[in-house]
Amino acid sequence: MSRLLESRLSRRATLRGGLGLAATTILAGAGLAGCSDDNNDSDDGDHNAGTGTTPPASSQTLSFDSVPRSLADQVVVPDGYSVDTLLAWGTPIVAGAAAFDPATNTAADQAGQTGMHHDGMYLFQADDSPNQGILVVNHENITRENLLPAGRSVDGDGMPNDPEQIRREMAAHGMSVVQIARDGNGRWAHQMSSFNRRITAMTDIAMSGPVAGSEYLVTPYSPDGTATRGTLNNCGRGFTPWGTYLSGEENIQGYFTTTDTSPALSRYGIDDVGFGFFWAAVSDDATDEDNGEFARFDVTANGSGATDDWRNEVNNFGWVVEVDPGDPSSTPRKRTAMGRFRHEGVEPSLITEGKQIAFYMGDDARGEYCYKFVTEDAWNAASPAPDMLDRGTLYVARFDDDGTGKWLPLDVSKSATLAGRFASQAELLVNTRIAADLAGATPMDRPEWSAVDPISGDVYYTLTNNSDRGSDGEEAVNAANPRANNTYGHIIRQTEAGNDPAATTFTWDIFVFGAPASADDNINRSGLTTDNEFAGPDGLWFDRRGVLWIQTDNGGNEVADATNDQMLAVIPAALSGDRTITPDNQASLKRFLVGPQGCEMTGSELSADAKTLFANVQHPGGRFPDYTDGVPPRSATLAISRDDGGEIAL
């Protein structure tokens, strides 16, 4: 990583297709790079995974005791740890932004404050400056009764009719880019900085890659199909070795409405209701805008010509968005070569000089697929190829019952079947889900986040749940998804052949099954106890020391009845045997944190010195974190530290 830091400034101007050179850096004399990650930069590339040898054992052990289950409206951490609230929804981060007051804040105020529903995040920080960095946080969704405490203004049909309120909802989505620093007492706080900015559902975005400039992205706003406005439902995150942030757009179907019923729309769940946002119901005539500010969210083909036909607007969403945190004037870019679906994590493979980079991704819905995008160019830190995310091959995974698997290319030039269905690669990428269906991929139990083990190079995916598994007309039980009515979820692990990110075959096994401790052996296959029972594995992340962090989104089941959502930790390299969680070694999996009532735990990061763990509390339902009359619950980023100043968890 030190070599990446040294070379970053000289290469930024030629990389990322328009994500420009930062005029200044956050750290005097040093470039901005992501150093709290789980990847390395190895010259020999020998990580011993998938080569017939055993990955190196780890002598590390977790130093804390599992915290008990909790239903309290508070954050529970091990003895000897403390928790601070770093960035709550509504924190002013842009100069001149108003203080948080949901009763009086305007859309413009919200556009200068942190958004709602914190999700994936990444800390850009240099190893030699552990006391400051730039944090980028996703904001997935909103809780309307908290954002608009006086209620939403609607017409006689119950449709929204106040442009200011809709703009405020849009401004609460997206991402926050925030400089943070630690004071002499070890407390973290956000800083007012020129790096700080909000990216919302209204921000100008450039389209990039094979779909950019195609007929599928042409709208009245962008007649040449190269630009759009906004990013939505930003969920899992990723990063690049050249110091940029990747954000996955997930449930895009919730924001658009249509009365059309084409296969392309129905395969992505676009219907006449969505999540009930109905932003298109607000008349553009009631605003100072005449560019489809709200009308664009109705993607019904009206046949009246290009000036007000927004049928293609939905195709501008469902992508991976790249953001340069070191250049606040840069325009975010949606990288279309990486496919269009309900993106969660975008985790890179181990970064190895002279090798291509794979980015592992999940499509978060029952019966959807695991993907990877492999760059065409090999990584060269001294002279990286430009636009690496615009050139490469998108693959979808087939998990065979014998523990092997195959990466199936989604490329019209490599498949007669796909070439017979799609006229171009641009059309295929807009319809990635349909292409994956035709390729013969394995439908999975809601693939969400991905993570890469820095010791072995193995790839992990959370499969959150699938209550339809085994039902009539739904996906049959198979070896990779072996439980019918899977309400608890599991985590699957892949090993690329030859530890090569560009490999087209892999082996796989199931790392751990979520389950209540009280369930029988057919359900509780990993032998979990009350010290580590969990359900709904969602957020997933390796810190660079090899600790795997699992975050949960329980849903309604017995585990949710016993405890709020949580974070667990385990060191896979330290496990014996095949390094999966079994009844014999389940105690190696420990509960580190339990969140407050009604929340989902999601997004985590470790400071460069490993002394602060950052984690996000999303949509708490009690009174966290203010516990003050009249103040609604607020999603927030936590900063967790050890009271003795030691490293987190070890």
Indicate if the pLDDT at residue 424 is higher than 60.
Answer: yes
How far is the CA of 167 from the CAs of 103, 282, 556, 645, in angstroms? 15, 10, 33, 43
Question: Has residue 85 been placed in a domain?
Answer: yes
325, pLDDT greater than 50: yes
Give tens-digit pLDDT for 371-388: 999 999 999 999 998 899
Question: What does the block give as tokens for 137?
Answer: 């946080």
Q: What is the band of 577 on the pLDDT scale with cuts at 50, 70, 90? A: confident
Note the pTM of the prediction, 2 decimals: 0.93
- Looking at the domain assignment, is residue 495 inside a domain? yes
In a domain, 612, yes or no: yes
Those residues with Cβ within 8 angstroms of residue 19's Cβ, 6 or more apart along the chain or in another chain:
12, 244, 322, 323, 324, 327, 330, 331, 333
Mean pLDDT of the chain: 91
Close Cβ partners of 68 (under 8 Å, ≥ 6 residues apart):
76, 530, 531, 591, 594
Residue 403 pLDDT exceeds 60: yes
| Rounded-to-integer distance, Cα 36 and Cα 285, Å | 48
Does a structural domain hold residue 625? yes
Q: Report phi then psi at 181, rounded to 5.
A: -150, 155
Q: Contact 38/542 with Cβ under 8 angstroms?
A: yes
The yes-or-no verdict on residue 25 having pLDDT over 90 is no
612-613-615 Cα angle (round to 5): 145
Q: Is residue 478 part of a domain?
A: yes
Rg (CA), the chain: 23
Q: Which domain holds residue 477?
A: 2-250+318-642
Q: How many domains does the chain have?
A: 1
More confidently predicted of 374 and 59? 374
Q: Is the pLDDT of residue 618 over 70?
A: yes
Q: pLDDT tens digits, residue range 270-304?
A: 999 999 999 999 987 655 555 899 999 999 998 76
Residue 451 lies in a domain: yes
- pLDDT grade for 602, boundaries at 50, 70 and 90: very high
pLDDT of residue 305: 58
**pLDDT mean over 47-53:** 33
Q: Is residue 88 assigned to a domain?
A: yes
Matching residue, tokens 């160019």: 377
| Residue 256, domain member (yes or no) | no
What does the pLDDT read at residue 129? 86
What percentage of the chain exceeds 90 in pLDDT? 85
